[in-house]
Amino acid sequence: MTSTTVAAVDLGATSGRVMLGRVSDDGIRLEESARFETGAVRRVDGWHWDFAQIFRHLRSGLRTAARTERLDAVGVDAWAVDYGLVRNAALLGEPFHYRDDRTERAIEWVHDRVAPAELFERNGLQFLPFNTLYQLAAERLGSRFSARIDRAERILLIPDLVAALLTGVEASERTNASTTGLLNATTLNWDDDLLHRLDLKRELFAPLVDPGTEIAPLADAGGAPLFTVGSHDTASAVVGVPATDPDFAYVSCGTWGLAGLELDAPVLTEAAREARFTNELGVDGRVRFLHNVMGLWILNECLRCWRAQDGTADLGMLLEQASNVDACVPLFNVDDPSFLPPGDMPARIDEWFASRGRRAPAGRAEVVRSIIESLAQAFADTIETAAALTGRAVSVIHVVGGGSRNDLLCRSLADRSGRRVLAGPSEATALGNVLVQARAIGAVTGSLDALRAFAARSFAPRTFEPRLKSTR
């Protein structure tokens, strides 16, 4: 194998990056070429993404990467569910942010036409108020927005939108399409009957393509071809799990925490729906059977609020202080909808406890410990439920993403789950992106399991063994 270099554009909910992936017989090396902020911006009509700025930064990052060395390929991944409306290859306004509350009325409108149980049978998705089908219903119902969707020629999810603006080719990558609620979980194609019942024109949705499909060359990357990857960032992150044990569960932990199992087929039972599990597509036709947990968003919003108050909230220091707090802190439901929007998160945590007549954690260190322990318990419970719903044994939990650097979280998860936790890599999404590109151009070969084994040679995880459980 000769040395190959690809660029992974990885757009997260708070930051974006362009990563160089160097692939050789010795393994994979990742190097950050550019990093920039993403995040929500408040406009007069709600929360949006400043997509124009994000797009400028990623193009600049690609140019910088191409100046560094010759690129053999490029791949783009990003968060799920959000989209751009496109006409004549131009964006019709800023994409809305999934934390905007405009879908409240649209949910009832959708469920009047398709009952929640039938929706799950069709799309296999956990109910979340920001799923794409509810956002599109809000476009239809909102007098300020309906003209946009009537004028649109295409609806493109964020990675597909980036690809279209860079190349002029409009396509819908299948792993991310599976998060819209409009892809049939059985046929793996757009659900034409569902589109009709929700008053959505079929021609708005671009042809579906699988990860590893060559799209077009990129001038910004020195002519390197753009390939689709697992363009939903969690799909790429799960590819990047360095698993060598088939009985593994994963927690992809960043702004969101996605915890679950990788399966060969969806689980569309009523029990799975009631447990709020989702069936999203992965690379090579795998199914990511998982539950969305609120993730480190809660901690990050607390930090943002504290910094606004006095500028002294240092994460490392707070985690060190929190590690000295007794693990038997009061726990709370991190998935409560009150924690979804931006705002004063410490006050919301206090309100959650007060409304239930319970003692809230006191002081920042105890709040941080409460968040960490509550997240760990949510992940442990989710994996236990996933195992029960599928009849699968789980011997080890892989934690990847930014949360893998949080020793307190990984230690707590091992203790609360009673399972070994393997932490890392933190850049699993970029790693998975690189692996799919590398296979597409022949730099590596083999199945998804072979890709993971190859990754494990370069990114050995840290191990946390469970201690006697006294906090459950």
Q: Which amino acid is at 319?
A: L
425 preceded by a cis bond (ω within 30 of 0): yes
Distance CA 265, CA 390 (A): 11
Residues 6+ apart with CB under 8 A from 358: 330
Q: What HEC string does 272-306 produce? A: HHHCCCEEEECHHHCEEEEEEECCCHHHHHHHHHH
- Among residues 277, 245, 276, the alpha carbon closest in space to that of 456 is found at 245
Tokens of 338: 């009150």
Selected catalytic residue, list 50, 72, 233, 415: 233
35 SS3 class? strand
- The β-bridge partners of 48 are 41, 96
Count of other CB atoms within 10 angstroms of residue 267: 21
Distance CA 256, CA 185 (A): 23
Distance CA 164, CA 428 (A): 25
Q: Which amino acid is at 432?
A: G
Q: Which amino acid is at 6?
A: V
119 SS3 class? helix
φ and ψ at residue 248, rounded to 5 degrees: -110, 150
Known catalytic membership, residue 45? no
* Residue 396 near residue 419, CB atoms below 8 Å: yes
Residues 6+ apart with CB under 8 A from 347: none
Name the helix (H) or strand (E) containing 112. Answer: helix 104-113
Name the residues annotated as catalytic.
233
